[in-house]
Amino acid sequence: MQTVFVFGGSDPHAATHTNARQRDKTVTGGKGANLAEMASIGLPVPPGFTITTEECVRYLKDGADFSDHLRAQVAEALTNIERAVGKKFGDAADPLLVSVRSGARVSMPGMMDTVLNLGLNDETVQGLAAASGHPRFAWDSYRRFIQMYSDVVLGIDHGLFEEALEIIKEDNGFYADTEMNCEDWQTLVSQYKAIVEDELGHPFPQDVNEQLWGAIRAVFDSWDSDRAKVYRRLNDIPGDWGTAVNVQAMVFGNMGDTSATGVAFTRDPATGEKTYYGEFLINAQGEDVVAGIRTPQYLTRAAREAAGAKPQSMEEAMPEVFAELAHVFDLLERHYRDMQDIEFTVQQGKLWMLQTRSGKRTAKAALKMAVDMVGEGLIDERTAILRVDPMALDQLLHPTLDPEAVRDVMASGLPASPGAASGKIVLDADTAEQWAGRGEKVILVRVETSPEDIHGMHAAQGILTARGGMTSHAAVVARGMGRPCVSGASALSIDLKARTLRIGTRDLKEGDILTIDGSNGQVMAGEVPTIEPELAGDFGTLMEWADRHRRMKVRTNAETPEDCRMARQFGAEGIGLCRTEHMFFDAQRISAVRQMILAENEQGRRAALEKLLPEQRKDFHEIFEVMAGLPCTIRLLDPPLHEFLPHGDAEFEELAEATGYGVDHLRRRAEELHEFNPMLGHRGCRLGITYPEIYEMQARAIFEAACEVAKASGKAPVPEIMIPLVATRRELQLLKALIDRVAAQVFAETGCTVEYLVGTMIELPRAALMAGEIAEEGAFFSFGTNDLTQTTLGVSRDDSARFLSAYVEKGIFARDPFVSLDIEGVGQLVELAAERGRATRPDIKLGICGEHGGDPASIAFCEAVGLDYVSASPYRVPIARLAAAQAALRA
């Protein structure tokens, strides 16, 4: 089987470019497939070849070795590059140099390794200097290669090389790398080689083929690097995909003032505006732009003027090449029908395309682009719905800084990723993760971020860097994560040893609070107030399209009027789960709840419940007012009673005073109620069976409130009373009879009748297996997948954090089963229960109300099973609406 594919060269329409496997991103990765595609449509792509992802998987599986078959195909492909450019790999007179880059099937910016200028050694550098006529360029390229190869392949700390560079610049009074001359670079190369020999005990490799295979090995190995694993876990990328390797003839942006390198987007990835967006550097290589080593220049004159920057834009400095690049932008966007993220190099006035891919974008930009592209006729409504990541909407559903609030602005940087965040300053990724883990909001402040910071960036509320541009690592990753980011804040300096920093004229320390606004680049002291988001415009348009195409209804998990109103604003079509126990914990009524629990007999319990009835009725009345005319699934009391009891001495004394019982008596009663495994103990319907007066009170409160709202508004809510933790038909039969009896009493007393249903939560494996029988009594099933996951896997959600991450990393679970439904196991029970329930009662209503109701992958499963609705927390309702539409379109 062919595992190496060539692209580019003298014949852009070679047959290899139409090979279906080469165009398959699962085989050649996104970068390899797109390079071949760009070459096939006639764009200037340096010739190269792609080693497939299959070879990476085989390499990692078979003990990190290369087959003779692969080596032969690589040698043949390398010969193809040599023919295309007229240079020989390793030729001392006029050498071919190559880049070696990763390329997974989905973009993982900065997570895997790259090596540039490969093929240089002590002999070929002389040949490059002579053949190019630019000795300074040749030695600059050699020092870059030694540093990059030593870091990526040999595992030497890149800081050692950075320090040597800074010393030589300081000794010569230089500020910028561009001030270094040829002799300076030669001196630095000698120092770099000495660093390698000191660190490794042997010289820097001079054999170009050894260099090539070392780089290929490093790219394959980087698929399993810690940072790549974290990124995959955060973005739900399977570990068995592997990465392709792209080997490509080098083109040079560091050959003087007619050469340049840059990164560009065909639309603004932060706002979605249809305007070219990007940065470039004259006389530089690609890592200079993305790593923030030098401050980049703007691509367009308009962007430069808007920023008040002085250095010429590419449009002004290289007008002819810019015009060609603009044409390529338009061609690629029309070809891929999406916003493109492009890397390019200009070598002595000639434009070369190094990469294109669908660009990362903020949620705001994704919405605008999707809606605009439909208006432009570039895509249709269905494509627009499918293009927006439902989870990205989370960025739009949270507060932004209040424009009227006082802002103590200390400095400004580049608005690299929109949104605003406040938090405690942390100066490294590990600290960010630790502090966030204990519930603190943090802002990660760095000179510049690197891929090793990925875990800290994820933990932080926002990111602030002293260096880097709009396309730096920090900016790209922050936009992808939906984190606000301000980059290139040059007024920021950090003393990592002292754990202090200076912003403008202010001295601060780690732990101080600051606020960043990623929409305008401001850095502010202290915490700035926020306002709720406006959900209109493009958001409203896309949600309207999504609602038009989805089949499943979307409800919310809510038990307060505030949450209900928020959910209705976000488009909820009813309540899928109202947890009544949350109402019992209210400080004004907890004393009555405890009296009910501690009562010695039914009479005592009923006396306490009489005090709770008006409070419960008021709770439901407020909820039904918001949800008038809509279905409201209300779960009767579920948790074990001991959860409501006091714990500390003060609470026991307070309860003793309220009840008249002695503290010792109360402690003894609490001890009697203690359970060794309360999750499987006296809770749920078992409370209703043993203390039916509790469920009687709750049912009465529900029906009285529903009748009050029906009379007042003319729109009756539809209570769906849910009995929790049912395992048998008989449990539901007994409690349904109780609820029907209370309903009849209330309807007779009030002269009002409302529609209602009685059903159960399926959260035990036995209930799923016996769903056919249980459906004889229940008019609906709501799958409580939180507990169903616990009881099926035998895993406590509250205690699983200490080992679940290891299970995910080792491939035991693809994802945390409490975040995304375990479709193979728990999902099978859901599907079976749905089938058996419908067989008994064809019109049974089926929904899901666990946390999985807001997870797009779980929602897709619910669509496949044919559930009637999903229910999610209020802020996840829009996510569920869009995910349900996508699931319906893909079905």
178 vs 628, residue with greater confidence: 628
Which of 214-218, 239-243, 295-299, 481-485 holds the top average pLDDT? 214-218
Rg (CA), the chain: 32
Q: How confident is the model at residue 742 (pLDDT cuts 50, 70, 90)?
A: very high
Please report the pLDDT score of residue 394 as a whole number.
74
Dump pLDDT digits (tens) for 459-486: 999 999 998 877 677 877 787 677 889 9
Catalytic sites, residue numbers: 473, 849
For the record, the structure tokens of 184 come out as 């300076």
Task: Look up residue 44 and give its amino acid.
Answer: P
Read off φ and ψ for residue 281, nearest 5 degrees. Answer: -135, 135
pLDDT over 90, % of the chain = 69
Q: Give CA–CA dist 396/640, Å, rounded.
A: 38
Dump pLDDT digits (tens) for 852-865: 998 999 999 999 99
Handedness of CA 531, 536, 542, 545 (dihedral sign): positive
Dump pLDDT digits (tens) for 564-584: 998 999 999 999 999 888 777
Please report the pLDDT score of residue 391 as a whole number.
85
Q: How confident is the model at residue 594 (pLDDT cuts 50, 70, 90)?
A: confident
pLDDT at 137 over 90: yes
pLDDT at 82 over 90: yes
For the record, the structure tokens of 383 come out as 């494509």
Read off φ and ψ for residue 780, nearest 5 degrees. Answer: -150, 155
Q: How confident is the model at residue 877 (pLDDT cuts 50, 70, 90)?
A: very high
Q: What is the three-class DSSP state of 362?
A: coil
User: Which of 149-158, 305-314, 534-543 has the least mean pLDDT?
Assistant: 534-543
pLDDT at 17 over 70: no
How many CB atoms sit inside 10 A of residue 543's CB? 22
Average pLDDT score over the chain = 91
**Quick one: DSSP state of residue 393?**
G
413-450 as b/e, with b when 16 or more CB fall inside 10 Å? Answer: bbbbbbbbbbbbbbbbbebbbebbeeeebbbbbbebbe
**Mean pLDDT on 8-23:** 61
Q: How confident is the model at residue 398 (pLDDT cuts 50, 70, 90)?
A: low
Instruction: Give every strand in the sheet of 340-347, ordered side by side.
Output: 297-298, 277-282, 260-265, 340-347, 350-358
Q: Give CA–CA dist 98/122, Å, rounded.
A: 16
Q: How confident is the model at residue 311 (pLDDT cuts 50, 70, 90)?
A: very high
pLDDT at 10 over 60: no
394 vs 134, residue with greater confidence: 134
**Mean pLDDT on 605-633:** 94
**Mean pLDDT on 422-444:** 94
Please report the pLDDT score of residue 13 as a whole number.
42
Q: Give CA–CA dist 871/631, Å, rounded.
A: 12
pLDDT at 166 over 70: yes
The H or E element containing residue 304 is helix 301-307
Contact partners, residue 290, CB within 8 Å, separation at least 6: 110, 263, 471, 472, 473, 476
Dump pLDDT digits (tens) for 830-845: 999 999 999 999 999 9
pLDDT at 441 over 90: yes
Q: How confident is the model at residue 11 (pLDDT cuts 50, 70, 90)?
A: very low
Tell how strand 4-7 and strand 48-51 pair up. Answer: antiparallel
Please report the pLDDT score of residue 16 as a whole number.
43
Q: How confident is the model at residue 414 (pLDDT cuts 50, 70, 90)?
A: confident
Please report the pLDDT score of residue 737 as a whole number.
98
Q: How confident is the model at residue 796 (pLDDT cuts 50, 70, 90)?
A: confident
Name the nearest CA neighbour of 153 among 92, 196, 201, 96: 196
pLDDT over 70, % of the chain = 97
Cα 395 to Cα 419, 420, 454, 530: the distances in Å are 8, 10, 18, 14
**Mean pLDDT on 784-790:** 92
pLDDT at 12 over 60: no
Q: Give CA–CA dist 534/398, Å, rounded.
A: 10
Dump pLDDT digits (tens) for 655-688: 788 778 888 888 888 888 788 887 888 899 999 9
pLDDT at 787 over 60: yes
Q: How confident is the model at residue 320 (pLDDT cuts 50, 70, 90)?
A: very high
pLDDT at 14 over 50: no
Name the nearest CA neighbour of 78 among 9, 2, 20, 153: 9
Read off φ and ψ for residue 337, nearest 5 degrees. Answer: 55, 40
Dump pLDDT digits (tens) for 230-276: 888 778 888 889 999 999 999 999 888 999 999 999 999 988 999 99
